Amino acid sequence: MADLPNFHDRDGWIWLDGALVPWREAGVHVLTHALHYASSVFEGQRAYGGEVFKLNEHSRRLRRSAELLGFEIPWSVEQIDEACREVLRANGLENAYMRPLAWRGSEQMGVSAQHTKIHLAIAAWEWGAYFGDEAARKGINLDISAWRRPAPYTAPTASKAAGLYMICTLARHAAQDKGLDDALMFDWRGQVAEATGANAFFVRDGKIHTPTPDCFLDGITRRTVIDLARRRGIEVVERAIWPEELESFEQFFLTGSAAELTPVASAGPWNFEVGDLSLQLRKDYIDLVNRRIPNA
């Protein structure tokens, strides 16, 4: 992934608490509760041709994530949708990555946060292929993370909550220190879970297998790709997958709003081919988001 300029020092506009503000002025106080206690939720979504793919679904998940963290975003799903469109228009963006973020403010310090104000910001910027332009052709290489996705009774794992990504950052840094692209994470039981920011799919004998998302996000892109595969008559099985099975899979790919659909060439000691099925589904996904095939 190419280095990007500083995110704080740019021209443009960010939607903040109901109004567009100049990019450089979209700040928060150092005593913001979310900065100290991770009381924030977010979305990652992409716009293609000036429209955010599955925007309403992302906005609904944002509000649901906040509810799971015990707060309500004071803007409706419809208002969030329109604010996202306003950000694209204001910045003159057609193809972009977008980050809505909701968080607890600085009115209360300490673990308790019932009296904090809830804020919402939405930013968007041009962002190409998450893993680089060669990833789809060659596949990416993954580490096996020492960190594991937590059990759903230890954290709100159905929420796209900022705090849940702390171990993802640690896992990805460890992988990049080894010259790898990302990391595959197991869950607290030792089952295969996901990469640091994308869901995992495996191919064997023309059938797709994917871990059951019972302790990590059932991604919007994940569900979209499952629909695309089933449209083609490909059987998709959602189930527990154990690491010892990985050597039996022929292909492996990741899905996510940032990653889109990215083939994997290796994960730890296991190697995979960048096969026709993975590449066909990648093409189907790119065609769908660019509205070249009917919506799934």
> How many other CB atoms are there within 10 angstroms of residue 97's CB atom?
18
Q: Which of 100, 74, 78 is nearest to 160 (CA)?
A: 100
- Are 149 and 186 in contact by the 8 Å Cβ rule? The answer is yes
Contact in structure between 185 and 149 (CB atoms under 8 Å): yes
Instruction: Please tell me the pTM assigned to this model.
Output: 0.94
Q: How confident is the model at residue 2 (pLDDT cuts 50, 70, 90)?
A: very low
> 142-171 burial, b for 16+ CB within 10 Å, e for fewer?
bbbbebbbbeeeeebbbbbbbbbbebbeeb
- Answer for the pair 263, 274: CB distance below 8 angstroms, yes or no: yes
Looking at residue 97, its amino acid is Y
Q: Determine the distance from the C-alpha atom of residue 84 to the mean position of all C-alpha atoms in its chain, rounded to a whole number.
A: 17
Domains located in the chain, CATH noted: 13-125 (3.30.470.10), 135-289 (3.20.10.10)
DSSP string of the chain, one letter each residue? ------SSS-SSEEEETTEEEEGGG----TT-HHHHH--EEE--EEEETTEETTHHHHHHHHHHHHHHTT---SS-HHHHHHHHHHHHHHHT-SSEEEEEEEEE-SS--SS--TTPPEEEEEEEE----TT-TTHHHH-EEEEEEEEEEPPTTTS-TTS-BGGGGHHHHHHHHHHHHTT-SEEEEEETTS-EEEESSSEEEEEETTEEEEE--SSS---HHHHHHHHHHHHTT--EEEE---GGGGGG-SEEEEEETTTEEEEEEEETTEE----HHHHHHHHHHHHHHTTSS---
The mean per-residue pLDDT over the stretch 212-228 comes to 98
**Mean pLDDT, residues 98-121:** 97
* Mean pLDDT of the region 212-227: 98
Q: Are 208 and 278 in contact (CB under 8 A)?
A: no
Q: Which neighbouring-strand residues pair with 207?
A: 204
Beta carbons of 204 and 250 less than 8 angstroms apart: yes
* pLDDT for the residue 295: 64
Residue 101 φ then ψ, to 5° = -145, 130
pLDDT band for position 129 (cuts 50, 70, 90):
confident
The residue type of 252 is F
Q: What is the mean pLDDT of residues 9-23?
A: 97
Return mean pLDDT, the chain: 96
Q: Which residue shows structure tokens 């794992």?
A: 157
How much is the CA Rg of the chain, to the nearest whole Å? Answer: 19
Percentage of residues in the chain having pLDDT higher than 90: 92
167, 208 in Cβ contact below 8 A? no
Catalytic positions, written as ranges: 160
Residue 296: predicted pLDDT? 59
pLDDT digits (tens, 9 = 90+) for 36-47: 999 999 999 999
Average pLDDT score over residue span 128-152 = 93
